[in-house]
A and B are shown apart, each in its own frame.
Chain A
Amino acid sequence: MSRPIDVGILLALALLALAGCRKECEQNLNCPASEICTDGKCVMRACADSNTCPMEHFCSDESGTCVAGCQSDRDCYPYHRCNDEGRCVENDCRSTALDCAVGQFCNELTGECYDSGGAYCAACDIDDDCGGTNWCLDIGAPSGQRYCLVDCSLGQECPRGYQCTTITRAGAPVGEGCIARCWEL
């Protein structure tokens, strides 16, 4: 007589158990911090946060694993940033002093460093070789070679690795020019 009751109870309990198991969680937020919600179950995450992942990877909230790409600049190497597509890409230059190689300027509009060109550190014999209001000077090269110093008297920026310094002739200042150790460039 008790068999139908047993079967009914069993089925009800089985359904309840299955329903309960399915609904242990519905999303990651329902699980402890160290776990993620997978198929309704809270399971251990493979990574706790992005700090435990290799560079150019991040700890996915969805999967709990380290995946390639980035979510913030901290996931990228210093000379890269995280773009809107979640990829580490080369940084724009911020300034000539910080981000460009010797002999370059930073174009802050395009974010690119470019070679200075012009007469900077060009070998010369006389001022006319350097053009404009630039100077041809002996700046202490071991070989005695003279080099062009480009005028920066009006506050013009010098390329990376150069300094705008006062030029003197016959003991008197005549202006300011971009100087570097040209023989090492």
Chain B
Amino acid sequence: MSAAHRSMAWGGVRAGRRALPVLGAAALAGCSDYNLRPNEWTDTFQQELRTTVDILLVIDNSCSMIEEQQKLGENFEAFIASFAGAEDVSYQIGVVSTDTDSTGAGILQGPVITPDTADASAVFADVVNLGTTGSGYERGLEAAMLALSPDLQSGANAGFLRADASLSVVFLSDEEDSSPEPVDIYLDYLYAVKSPNGYEAYRDPRRMNVSAVVGPVPDGCELTGEDVFPAQPGERYIDLVTRTGGIFSSICDEDFSGLVQDLGLNISGLQREFYLTRWPDPATLAVSVDGERDAKPWTYVAEQNSILFYDEEALPPSQSVVTVTYTVVARSTGEGE
């Protein structure tokens, strides 16, 4: 070995002596990190109350709708009271008709109702009483799209849509939607309204949902009172309700008190379904609410890869933390996340 090589070798050892504690620590750290975890996974969700909501009511004003408008108007108090923690919810309620033939198509009728509206209940009853002289070709989806369009949002309907608010669209009609486009065009539009970066509402339907008080599929229903025409099935509305996690209720129900409570609960944003981020072995699922296992009745929905709390009377409360622990199983690409 040459002198130069020896010098290098001993220089290395000298440096190594100084580095010995460091290497030792690194080795130990490396060893302590060598701890292959089992395939156990935990998803954590916060049950968050929506505190800022914009609610667009799209109401059929064709003939035969007078009683339904009145029934809705009589239930404003129950509607608002059913917002969990209503005193803290900043809501805006705007009303538009399904008539897109008139010159005011898509323009909000009457004032936008907010927590600051004096005698809001009376104002609501007045606003939703749109009359029955509208077009017989009800185009609810088209009317909603018009009401939320950039043209009207920067004009007659300015201030209704708030950037930080979630959006709930509620349809009330005794006929099928006659809007010209396939339903996906309208769903896409509504999601896009609440997706400033291009994806938020598509990814999280709680930012926008659709509810409907219409005739059930496939046969509609018989309206009572002076109406002689049966309500048509509102297939197009119900499709959007299903796909956005909204509430469907039959327009033939005797009164709307139960309906408006469900609507309020839904609009307030309490989630029933929580989507898992990995595929679980269902036998290993452990679900807790605020640390208490099986505190609320739940089931695993394989098709959605989600945990569903199926008892609407026993949902995880606002601000609670839902944790789901499970063993991950492998799924091939194309079968979902």
Are B235 and A102 neighbours in the complex by a CB distance under 8 Å? Answer: no
Residues B20 and A10 in contact, CB atoms below 8 Å apart: yes
State how many angstroms separate the Cβ of B7 from the closest Cβ of chain A. 14
> Are B41 and A72 interface neighbours, CB within 8 A?
no
Cα–Cα, bound, A95→B37 (Å): 48
Q: Is the CB of B180 within 8 A of A101?
A: yes
State whether the Cβ of B239 lies closer than 8 Å to any Cβ in chain A.
Answer: yes
Interface residues of B, count at CB 8 A: 47
Please, what's the 1-or-0 string for A65-106, where 1 marks a CB less than 8 Å from any CB in chain B?
Answer: 000000110100111001011100001010101111110000
B21-65 residues at the A interface, CB under 8 angstroms: 23-24, 26-27, 29-31, 33-34, 36-37, 39, 41-42
1/0 contact trace for B325-337 toward A, CB 8 Å? 0001000011111
Chain A residues with CB under 8 A of B203:
50-53, 55, 74
Which of chain B's residues 135-192 have a Cβ closer than 8 Å to chain A? 137, 176, 178, 180-185, 187-188, 191
Nearest CB in chain A to that of B182: its residue: A99
Q: How far is the CA of A132 from the CA of B328 in the complex (A)?
A: 63
Chain B residues, Cβ within 8 Å of A26: 36
Q: Is the CB of B184 within 8 A of A78?
A: yes
Stretch at the interface among A16-24, A118-126, A148-156, A167-175: A16-24
Interface members, chain A 26-51 (any B CB < 8 Å): 26, 29-31, 33, 48-51
Which chain B positions have C-beta within 8 A of A16? 27, 30-31
A58 interfacial contact with B, CB 8 Å = yes
Does B199 have its Cβ within 8 Å of any Cβ on chain A?
yes
Cβ contact within 8 Å between A14 and B328? no
Docked-complex contact B176 and A97, CB < 8 angstroms:
yes
Interface contact B176-A161, CB-CB below 8 Å: no
Rounded to whole Å, the gap between the CB of A183 and the closest CB of chain B is 12
User: Shortest distance in angstroms between A12's beta carbon and chain B's nearest beta carbon?
Assistant: 8
With both chains docked as a complex, state the minimum distance between the C-beta of A166 and any C-beta of chain B, in angstroms. 12
Residue among A7, A30, A78 with the highest chain B CB neighbour number at 10 A = A78
* Residue among A21, A53, A95 with the highest chain B CB neighbour number at 10 A: A21
- Residues A9 and B20 in contact in the complex (CB < 8 Å), given A71-B337, A78-B191: yes
Given that A79-B182, A97-B235, A161-B178 are known contacts, is A55 also in contact with B199, CB under 8 Å in the complex? yes
Contact of B36 among A13, A30, A161 (CB under 8 A): A30
**Is the pair B39, A29 in contact by a Cβ cutoff of 8 Å?**
yes
Instruction: Please determine whether A101 and B182 come into contact, CB atoms closer than 8 angstroms.
Output: yes
Q: Are A19 and B235 in contact (CB under 8 A)?
A: no
| CB neighbours of B335 from chain A (8 A) | 71
For the complex, is B133 an interface residue (Cβ under 8 Å from A)?
no
Q: How far does the Cβ of B13 sit from chain A's closest Cβ, in whole Å?
A: 6
A176 to chain B, nearest CB (A): 15
- Residue of B with least CB distance to A4: B13
Cβ A51 vs Cβ B30 within 8 A:
no
The answer to the question of A54 belonging to the interface, with a C-beta cut-off of 8 Å to chain B, is yes
Kindly list chain A residues whose C-beta atoms are within 8 Å of the C-beta of B293.
Answer: none
Among A58, A82, A99, A101, which residue has the most Cβ atoms of chain B within 10 A? A99
Centre residue among B33, B187, B198 by max chain A CB count within 10 A: B33
Question: Which residues in A have some Cβ–Cβ distance to B below 8 Å?
Answer: 3, 6-7, 9-10, 13-14, 16-21, 23-26, 29-31, 33, 48-55, 58-59, 61, 71-72, 74, 77-79, 82, 84-86, 91, 93, 95, 97-102, 161, 163, 181
Chain B residues with CB under 8 Å of chain A are: 13, 16-17, 19-20, 23-24, 26-27, 29-31, 33-34, 36-37, 39, 41-42, 137, 176, 178, 180-185, 187-188, 191, 198-199, 202-204, 235-236, 239, 243, 277, 328, 333-337
Q: Which 7 A-B pairs have the closest CB atoms?
A: A20-B30, A79-B184, A72-B336, A17-B27, A16-B27, A51-B203, A17-B26
Sample 20 A-B pairs with CB under 8 A, ordered by A number: A6-B17, A10-B13, A10-B16, A10-B20, A10-B23, A13-B23, A16-B31, A20-B29, A20-B33, A23-B30, A24-B34, A54-B198, A71-B334, A78-B184, A79-B182, A79-B185, A79-B188, A82-B334, A97-B236, A161-B180
